[in-house]
Structure 1
């Protein structure tokens, strides 16, 4: 499998792979120019460039760890919003990004365990599987049996993970134009900036352990959400109870309609109830972080990325959503100005704000709704198509920093619901858990 000395060479290889992306993009642009000169239809040229860009992008991201892997996981959540002819052929690669990466050598695994748990670390376990059960962006998980007989997951951080994360994210930020070829109006820079800002927290397994303990306490004995118990945590090793269940990626690909609907309902419940119950918002909603248990609960297995909301979700979100559904245009505009979504020096028509928001709120305008890729693509096109009324209005609006994480996580959760094709009573979830949404 290699040795510890392989790690620098792998870092060079990763950098080289990323470097091929802009070169490949330049080649495809030249191809497009040549075909335009020869009279080939522009839309056919564009489609071919899009297809080849997607092929290289998904191929490279699928081979990487570090920041590129983390970004690939985030991107995989939004594949439902991208055109089917682009993501369809590469959905398997995107799914792989959610919870699979090349494993690190066994010697490296043992070295980290020795450094973090001491030279007698093996005494902590009755059994320990050297082959990882799952591997992702900054660490991998090994299945083991604790000394007391408890099946556990041992999460081990890759050596040099922090530097790899920062290096990859910095390089990817230079490739924003490539993603606009895939989807005009798609801006990845805010996502990359947020991922960079979270690096320090995600690398701190002690902090993750404390967060998971808080979530486990909040959802103890819950009949909808399961958070595994934390047994031990150091800077680079986290030991928790093992979670049996079907990975959400498998539910998406092969699950019954009943299981997909149930998983969607549980995802929505986690998203809206955790801020109220634990003061925390799970901020990494890609399918690799969830399992559907046999008893119908949703198992949550990663708390490296969370938003801390000690007072719960902001009350204006629920109140302004309710007022929008009620058609109170002036009150909505006033509330959006108060929260900073509409700058004080920008003039917008109140009714145009309702026309902008109501289609997005369709899932909670009715008692029961089925999320689909088609619905999400339709909304993405409506909001991001240059020249459209919605696009022009969107350019006038602002996203206050205090709402950025909530907005991004909500979009990510919606992306997963659309992958699940999940139908449920989502309005009821908001009425129960979102402050300000229920009728006064």
Structure 2
């Protein structure tokens, strides 16, 4: 589908037959049972793996066959559950590029299923939500409304419509409608998924999903509030009004569970990843980097959901951004220490880097740490900024994942001694997610110059 929908992926509504909202507790029991069954299958596979501990590199601790079987079962259930399970799957899907090549293809296929269209919310239920949120005369606001959803997401689905306006033909819009009971179902799923972290480590050793699930749970209230999303989208739209590179559709109307925005035509990044030309992939990656680093400076906001389904490459070459349910408010822009410490690392000033990390709370005050070891730890991650042009690749990301996740490596041991301050947690997660998408795109671009322009503290003083 080429149109922008404002949906972050696909999902199954929390509904039953005959257009009636399903009893949430009964549905939750079924969802819980499916999740609870997963560790049983995993236990059998670990026996097949001769009891090897799932803690190191995949190739060293568990066979590809066992990994693949685990992934197939896990993502199959995630695909059925949708809701919080699908939200977690979407967040994790950006790290698919870090998986071993022999396993990346089946994982990619399983993850893609989480992003495809799913059984829709019945029309009568959609109409009921619209009446509650926009008024009983909601139809009078539209020239036309398509009851068939254009896309489905973890907490809502999107319909294509035409809003009444001064224009004779009306105004093409995307109408996002939240599923009844979405909040309760999401919380239930996220609580259950936190118990399955061992299975995720079997698929991608070194991956701890508990902090991610905690963050998703903490931000759930924000994502369920479409009026708050509308506020964020309006702020982004104002910051990028008439911009030549980034396009943000305008908000037409908003209510707590319904959001109406301008419709946008364009190629989803998920399609460009799989079918795009090299120039399309390179340009998409460059524009994503521009958005990531410029938004805190221009809008005081960081787009916090770098999922390929949330972006479109428009016919005029701009990057369309269509979902603002997850944002981080950075009124002062990106923290200056990030840019300054990256620059100092690239300049090879190990002592200054350690001093800066200690001042920001990355290194505990009483922690004795070798400055050169710290520099050796961070420099490979900064390779994209050490050169004028860099091509992100799956191979590069896999190498970094292996270096950092192998318990036998010096990088792994040092990483365990470093701390991630709460103020940097979301920025860190979004930056990693964006890098994952760039690696999926295999995008080449002038990332150093983008960072030099937009990241405070990175450009040399004077």
The TM-score range, normalised by the shorter chain, is over 0.9
Pairwise mapping of residues 219-230 of structure 1 onto structure 2 (< 5 A)? 219-230=240-251
Q: Distance in 2 between matches of 1:278 and 1:103?
A: 34
In structure 1, what is the Cα distance between the partners aligned to 2:351 and 2:432? Answer: 26
Indicate which of 290, 296, 316 corresponds to 1:275: 296
Aligned equivalent of 1:191, options 207, 212, 230: 212
Query: After superposition, where does 1:64-103 map in structure 2 within 5 Å?
Result: 64-98=81-115, 100-103=117-120
Q: Which residue of 1 aligns with 2:36?
A: 19
Q: Distance in 1 between matches of 2:246 and 2:100?
A: 33
Q: Name the SS of the counterpart of 1:361 in structure 2.
A: helix
Partner Cα separation in structure 2 for residue 420 and residue 204 of structure 1: 31
Match of residue 354 from structure 1: 375
Report the Cα distance in structure 1 between the residues aligned to 2:219 and 2:339, rounded to whole angstroms: 27
- 1:39 is matched with none
Residue in 1 that maps onto 2:183: 162
Matches within 5 A, 1:15-164: 15-33=32-50, 46-98=63-115, 100-148=117-165, 149-164=170-185
3-state SS, counterpart of residue 94 of structure 2: helix
- 1:289 corresponds to 2:310: yes
Shift of 1:59: 1.4
* TM-score, scaled to structure 1: 0.96
**How far apart, CA to CA, are the structure 2 residues paired with 1:117 and 1:100?**
25
SS at match of 2:80: coil
Is the contact made by 1:67 and 1:166 (CA closer than 8 Å) also made in structure 2?
A: yes
Mark the runs of 5 or more structure 1 residues left unpaired by the alignment.
37-41
Contact 1:274 / 1:280 at 8 angstroms: preserved in 2?
A: yes
**1:196-247 superposed Cα distances (whole Å, 9 cap, x missing partner):** 1100100000000011000000000000000000011000000000011001
Which region of structure 1 is more displaced relative to structure 2, 189-198 or 78-87?
78-87
Distance 1:273 1:289 in 2: 17
Q: Structure 2 length as normaliser, TM-score?
A: 0.91
**Contact residue 131 and residue 137 of structure 2 kept, 8 A:** yes
In the other structure, the counterpart of 2:429 is: 408
User: How many angstroms apart in 1 are the aligned matches of 2:327 and 2:218?
Assistant: 12
Query: Which stretch has the larger CA shift, 8-17 or 241-250?
Result: 8-17
Counterpart secondary structure, 2:160 = strand
1:241-256 → structure 2 map (5 Å cutoff): 241-256=262-277
Distance 1:101 1:73 in 2: 15
Deviation at 1:312, TM superposition (A): 0.2
Q: Secondary structure at the match of 1:240?
A: strand
- After TM superposition, the structure 1 stretch with the greater mean CA deviation from structure 2, 268-277 or 80-89, is 80-89
Structure 1: how far apart are the matches of 2:46 and 2:147? 46
Q: Bigger shift: 25-34 or 391-400?
A: 25-34
The range that moved more, 11-20 or 370-379, is 11-20
Tell me, yes or no, if the aligned pair for 1:367 and 1:428 is still in contact at 8 Å: yes
Whether the aligned pair in 1 keeps the contact of 2:46 and 2:52 (CA below 8 Å) is no
Q: CA deviation at 1:88?
A: 1.0
Question: Structure 1 221/43 Cα, relative in aligned 2: closer, same or farther at 3 Å?
Answer: closer
- 1:82 CA drift (Å): 1.7
Flag the 1:12–1:106 CA change in 2: closer, same or farther, 3 A: farther
Give the Cα–Cα distance (whole angstroms) in 2 for the partners of residues 413 and 426 of structure 1: 12
